[in-house]
Amino acid sequence: MDVELRELMQAFVLSDYQVQEVYSRFCLEIAKGLRRSTNSQSNTKCFPTYVQELPTGDEMGKYLALDLGGTNFRVLLVSLKGHHDATVESQIYAVPKDLMIGPGVELFDHIAECLAKFVHKHNMSSAYLPLGFTFSFPCVQAGLKEAMLTRWTKGFGCPGVEGEDVGRMLHEAIRRRGDADIAVVALLNDTTGTLMSCAHRNPECRVGVIVGTGCNACYVEHVDNVDLLDAQFKRKEKQIIVNCEWGAFGESGQLDFVRTEYDNEVDRKSINRAQQLFEKMTSGMYLGELVRLVLVRALERNAIFKGAGNRRAEYAAILQHNIDIFETKHISEIESDTFPELANTRRIIKQLFGIEKASVEDCQKLRYICECISSRAATLVAIGISGLINRIADRKVVVGIDGSVYRYHPKFDTYIRNTMHKLVKSDKEFDIMLSEDGSGRGAALVAAVASKTK
Ligand code: BGC
């Protein structure tokens, strides 16, 4: 790779020392989050989820599930069939941009409307249906059924929801319509859904991770280590799933020594400034944007499209005036390309700048930029996963993962494993499994556990 570009991208390459240092800081943060006396100073809030039983695989019954937390929202009907088996029917609904930042009550009315239509379509309007609500934002829970939103993330910003119980808000929206007999029996995070759905298939699963629009993880912790948990929840069960909310890591400056000027710029332009800094280096909502900002700089420094002469300034202007024009899915497409066709890369360059057939050299440079940004993201995610695995007493730990970045990027899994091999304690064994529909199946499983507990 040519020297200018290599120099430019150096800021994204984490040295072994930096990896170790981020790892130590992350572990400290989780320990602080778990302790009542230090929780308020920690970024990673380590919320107890009140999910204390992992699935056995024998769970049965029909459950509704709702999945809100990314660009789409889904309604699902999950039939748990015992023998580790389940079927899922689902419908995707868009969340219009104005609803993402409009009054909260309108968002919940929209959800209740979609829910009623779905139930009607499946001829279940008169049936009693328990519902598990996968609500993928940071929430303080007081039990399985209550979840108070602490802050919106991922571009959502509806007023009137922070500080409120989202289970109650959904319940009230369903009641206002009065056309379905649905009871909200459990609220959960998508990471919990991922862990539960993977544990349903593989009982060694102890960690659930999402690398999608947002980024976060949960894991199974011994109740004695969860200082935030009241004694009554420590009597019967000895474990609990803890939602780390690791996306917030770095808000006290712990990542400043590795953050770049581009990370600062992404943060400055976001609707949640100075928040979710780890998430802004690792998740789908931001990775494409990082590439866009780096490309502008590379064009200014004559480090890419060298043959384009004056047109380089035009390309830079296109990128500067169109926020989000470079999508995270482009990174996966570019890194999936095969030589010598480079079909995805050429199509994307044409879409962006109108260049008919970009040179191999420019294609390779763009790919290099993408690789530096995606491998840094994977390294950071691996640091977090390793920190959690090393806290768990079991010798073998399976990690369930989902999310568009992990799922569609051709090398994210390899990048993660490479770093994990360096950080997971040598007496431990780990594996990673792709989750199948954690937000649906996982929500039904938590609802099933909730019904059993009741
Ligand atoms: C949210 C988490 C969620 C993650 C992945 C983050 O922005 O705070 O609750 O698990 O995104 O969807």
Q: What is the pLDDT of residues 34-64, one digit of tens each?
A: 999 999 999 999 999 999 999 988 999 999 9
pLDDT, tens only, 104-133: 999 999 999 999 999 999 998 888 999 999
How much is the pLDDT for 449? Answer: 84
How much is the pLDDT for 450? Answer: 81
Q: Quick one: which atom of ligand 1 is closest to the CA of 70?
A: 12
Identify which of 279, 281, 328, 435 to mutate to test ligand 1's pocket (most ligand atoms within 8 A of the CB). Answer: 279
Identify which of 43, 73, 148, 216 to mutate to test ligand 1's pocket (most ligand atoms within 8 A of the CB). Answer: 216
How much is the pLDDT for 99? Answer: 93
Cα(423) to ligand 1 centroid in Å equals 24
The mean pLDDT of the chain is 95
Q: Catalytic amino acids?
A: 154, 190
Cα(175) to ligand 1 centroid in Å equals 28
Per-residue pLDDT averaged across 235-262, rounded? 97
Cα(216) to ligand 1 centroid in Å equals 5
Cβ(25)–Cβ(254) below 8 Å: yes
- Return the number of other C-beta atoms located less than 10 Å from residue 269's C-beta: 13
Residue closest by Cα to atom 12 of ligand 1: 214
How much is the pLDDT for 1? Answer: 78
Find all residues with CB under 8 Å of 380, minimum gap 6, and list them: 22, 278, 281, 282
Ligand 1 neighbours, Cβ below 6 Å, are 69, 136-138, 153-154, 189-191, 210, 212, 214-216, 245, 247, 279
Per-residue confidence at 454, pLDDT binned at 50, 70, 90?
Answer: low
Domains in the chain, please, with CATH? 50-190+437-449 (3.30.420.40)
Cα(201) to ligand 1 centroid in Å equals 23
Q: Could you tell me the end-to-end alpha-carbon distance of the chain, in angstroms, rounded to an integer?
A: 61
Residue closest by Cα to atom 11 of ligand 1: 214
Per-residue confidence at 9, pLDDT binned at 50, 70, 90?
Answer: very high
Is the pLDDT assigned to residue 225 strictly greater than 60? yes
Q: Which residues of 428-437 are buried (b: 16+ CB within 10 A; e: fewer)?
A: eebebbebbb
Per-residue pLDDT averaged across 142-169, rounded? 96
pLDDT, tens only, 278-305: 999 999 999 999 999 999 999 999 999 9
Q: Is it true that the peptide bond before 410 is cis, omega within 30 degrees of 0?
A: no
How many whole angstroms separate alpha carbon 352 and alpha carbon 368? Answer: 18
Does the pTM surpass 0.95? The reply is: yes
Per-residue confidence at 453, pLDDT binned at 50, 70, 90?
Answer: low
Is the pLDDT assigned to residue 431 strictly greater than 60? yes
The helix (run of H) or strand (run of E) holding residue 216 is strand 215-222
Q: What is the dihedral of CA 80, 82, 85, 87, to 10 degrees?
A: -30
Q: Quick one: which atom of ligand 1 is closest to the CA of 214?
A: 11
Cα(261) to ligand 1 centroid in Å equals 24
Q: Which residues of 280-289 are buried (b: 16+ CB within 10 A; e: fewer)?
A: bbbbbbbbbb
Residue closest by Cα to atom 3 of ligand 1: 136
Is the pLDDT assigned to residue 260 strictly greater than 70? yes
Is the pLDDT assigned to residue 94 strictly greater than 90? no
As given in the structure block, the two tokens for residue 251 are 């808000």
